[in-house]
Chains A and B, each alone.
Chain A
């Protein structure tokens, strides 16, 4: 059973190309692609010149199972992902209880298999209960399918605990993902220090807290040789530390959330809690530096940092309100803002959305090459729309893009050759 995607604009992050062509899928995998006359196939999908790219691999999606299914379930998150062109959700372990034993992880993979239309690769906690005291059963959890180990937005403060966990993880070639924010400076803060936070009277943290934590982690990486990924680098000041580590040959990568690439601290305006994320939104100069770092490849991965929160936890005074924003369905149109602003090309964008995250986790996707899984997204990069948050498929509607003008509509999503979303 072959399917031909004809008349497409192929976005290939691996080859760095953005050109007209066709793509042939057989069963669950990509068979071939080309620019010449397309071969025959049982099914032909005319892409009408629209963009065809590898599906997005989103590292750091919070699905609130177990514990808070009223905020998001595997079913609702999976539908949102499919509608957003995300074909692999790499899920976070910061649930209640935390995903820190093989038993809980098995529950999660079973629920995911039953309920979600897209691929789910779970991450597990690095320390038991994410408490920063004892490492989890990294070996067992790896066997059960954990693709990376992270305590989410909790920082392991005790460097002895962290260095041991890293040393142990190194022996199993496991990836450790950390949230580089100095816990002391960050305590109690909900804004980035500067004129805006001072005027609004919000407790704020210096952007230096990120560089300090990244510097510490880089020293530990040098000491232990672990495979390390920073979940979010969000300030210009942290970039030289990252660059230095990479130049010194450390096995280090870094991500950034789409919100830090497209919004800045001023968007919080009159205490709008849907813009409260962790780390807090930064200055415009930081945002610009981050976009450049993604274009240059210094920052490897863009993710949605999808964090569902219900209305009750957001309808509070800013300091008391919960952090986080949903992003599965808005990741693609928000990322296209960078393309429309001519800050980045589509292959560069897809390198960060798809190819790099897949590679970092040892997954096969993120490519259009023969033999790669047929995880694809077909989208109109230009189609304009105004986002209405109540149209989102997530159970929680806490998006900062409510009412925003956006461009980019997903026309279709395929996972392992099967269509999981039809937006045409």
Chain B
């Protein structure tokens, strides 16, 4: 067991062994999820609260299914509609929930660092489901699992991440994870969507998609937010698609067996050609969704194990 952390707030503090532990355990859950009888009692008796301060359908559903299959009591809170609107601060909301003795808090928030702040104030395990532009650790883990299953390994690969890197927490978590596992990471996008001093993050930066894709094993496309399309960061949707949208012609520069990934939801015809996204020989986009549930089950099992052990050892901060 090499995942001893109390929370899963990001990839940054994880060691490679911890990442491997989570991925190995996830494999078991892939099998369970494909069986007819899908439930286990690993989280029985525990309460999981999904707090989403930002709209999400897919991630929230994935966490909810993961929790329910493990036997937890799962509750969803749509925070946008609740007390935040009445002026309550994040910390007061956290303290209120904390008083109800949850065991796992799954949190998404539009501001970087907000989940770290919340984790300081509660007595349970906190899972970051995405904070601002900072991290989205379970997405990077499910991407790693998908890659490992498709390529047979998660090291010494060339991974090209394309699109709006600057505003993407998915990109940050993936850059960190892939770097820790000793892969070559390339960032491809218009300079307005590449973070400052990106080269200092241990990656190679390309402004030309064909050059950046040359010899890549994995092509990871990112979603381009609608609000960034009109003149602010790029001149137009069609120019973006022409230069940075993934189609068969550009993909031909990657390795012949390169896989295509996308964290979803996709803008077909903006960042990715629709036919390509559906090509079962190249696209692993549906598999990513499947791996998402398995990875979240594994992460929650490990956090619950640490939580139970700490409580049994009398760690008052967990109570």
A201 touches B134 (CB 8 A): yes
Number of B residues near A (Cβ < 8 Å) is: 24
Q: Which of B14-22, B105-113, B275-283 contacts A (4 or more CB under 8 A)?
A: B105-113
A319 interface residue (CB < 8 Å to B): yes
B112 touches A318 (CB 8 A): yes
Q: How far is the CA of A323 from the CA of B169 in the complex (A)?
A: 24
B117 interface residue (CB < 8 Å to A): yes
A199 touches B172 (CB 8 A): yes
B113 touches A198 (CB 8 A): no
Q: Which of B64-72, B195-203, B210-218 contacts A (4 or more CB under 8 A)?
A: B195-203
Chain B residues near A195: list those with CB within 8 A. Answer: 196-197, 200-201
Q: How far is the CA of A315 from the CA of B118 in the complex (A)?
A: 10
B207 interface residue (CB < 8 Å to A): no
B172 touches A317 (CB 8 A): no
Which of B89, B133, B134 has a CB less than 8 Å from the CB of A315? B89
Contact status of A317 and B113, CB under 8 A, knowing A198-B201, A201-B135, A201-B169 = yes
User: Which of B113, B114, B135 is most buried by chain A, counting CB atoms within 10 A of its CB?
Assistant: B113
A312 interface residue (CB < 8 Å to B): yes
Give the Cβ gap from A414 to chain B, nearest Cβ, in Å: 43
Contact status of A194 and B172, CB under 8 A, knowing A201-B112, A201-B135 = no
Chain A residues near B198: list those with CB within 8 A. Answer: 198
A43 interface residue (CB < 8 Å to B): no
Give the Cβ gap from A415 to chain B, nearest Cβ, in Å: 40
Which A residue sits closest to B172, measured CB to CB? A201
Which of B90, B117, B196 has a CB less than 8 Å from the CB of A197? B196
Q: How far is the CA of A201 from the CA of B109 in the complex (A)?
A: 13
Give the Cβ gap from B311 to chain A, nearest Cβ, in Å: 25
Number of A residues near B (Cβ < 8 Å) is: 21
Chain B residues near A193: list those with CB within 8 A. Answer: 196-197
Contact status of A271 and B113, CB under 8 A, knowing A201-B132, A319-B132 = yes
Contact status of A320 and B111, CB under 8 A, knowing A271-B116, A315-B89 = yes
B196 touches A315 (CB 8 A): no
Which A residue sits closest to B111, measured CB to CB? A317
User: Which of A194, A199, A320 is most buried by chain B, counting CB atoms within 10 A of its CB?
Assistant: A199
Give the Cβ gap from B169 to chain A, nearest Cβ, in Å: 6
Chain A residues near B133: list those with CB within 8 A. Answer: 201-203
Which A residue sits closest to B9, measured CB to CB? A270
A343 interface residue (CB < 8 Å to B): no
B89 touches A271 (CB 8 A): no
Which B residue sits closest to A202, measured CB to CB? B112
Which residues 261-278 of A sit at the B interface, judged by CB distance below 8 A? 270-271
Chain A residues near B42: list those with CB within 8 A. Answer: none
Which A residue sits closest to B199, measured CB to CB? A195
Give the Cβ gap from A193 to chain B, nearest Cβ, in Å: 4
Chain A residues near B169: list those with CB within 8 A. Answer: 201
B91 interface residue (CB < 8 Å to A): yes
Which residues 44-64 of B sit at the A interface, judged by CB distance below 8 A? none
Give the Cβ gap from B83 to chain A, nearest Cβ, in Å: 15
A316 interface residue (CB < 8 Å to B): yes
Contact status of A317 and B201, CB under 8 A, knowing A201-B172, A271-B117 = no
A200 interface residue (CB < 8 Å to B): yes
Q: How far is the CA of A200 from the CA of B135 in the complex (A)?
A: 8
A204 interface residue (CB < 8 Å to B): yes
Chain B residues near A203: list those with CB within 8 A. Answer: 133
A206 interface residue (CB < 8 Å to B): yes
Which residues 122-170 of B sit at the A interface, judged by CB distance below 8 A? 131-135, 169
Q: Mark A308-322, 1 if CB is under 8 A from B, else 0.
A: 000010011111100
Q: How far is the CA of A312 from the CA of B87 in the complex (A)?
A: 12
Q: How far is the CA of A202 from the CA of B91 in the complex (A)?
A: 20
Which residues 16-63 of A sit at the B interface, judged by CB distance below 8 A? none
Contact status of A270 and B195, CB under 8 A, knowing A312-B89, A317-B90 = no
Which A residue sits closest to B114, measured CB to CB? A317
Contact status of A270 and B201, CB under 8 A, knowing A201-B132, A201-B169 = no
Which residues 184-213 of B sit at the A interface, judged by CB distance below 8 A? 195-198, 200-201
Give the Cβ gap from A88 to chain B, nearest Cβ, in Å: 37
Q: How far is the CA of A315 from the CA of B92 in the complex (A)?
A: 10
Which residues 255-302 of A sit at the B interface, judged by CB distance below 8 A? 270-271
Which of A194, A197, A206, A319 has a CB less than 8 Å from the CB of B111? A319
25 interchain pairs, CB-CB under 8 A: A194-B197, A195-B196, A195-B197, A197-B196, A198-B198, A198-B200, A199-B12, A200-B112, A200-B134, A201-B112, A201-B133, A202-B132, A203-B133, A271-B112, A312-B89, A316-B91, A316-B117, A317-B90, A317-B111, A317-B113, A317-B132, A318-B112, A319-B111, A319-B112, A319-B132
7 A-B pairs with least C-beta separation: A271-B113, A201-B133, A201-B134, A317-B111, A317-B114, A193-B196, A198-B195
| Chain B residues engaging chain A, CB cutoff 8 angstroms | 12, 89-91, 109, 111-114, 116-117, 131-135, 169, 172, 195-198, 200-201
Knowing that A195-B197, A318-B111, A319-B113 touch, tell me 12 more A-B residue pairs with CB under 8 angstroms.
Answer: A195-B200, A198-B195, A198-B197, A201-B132, A201-B135, A271-B116, A271-B117, A312-B89, A316-B90, A317-B114, A317-B132, A319-B112
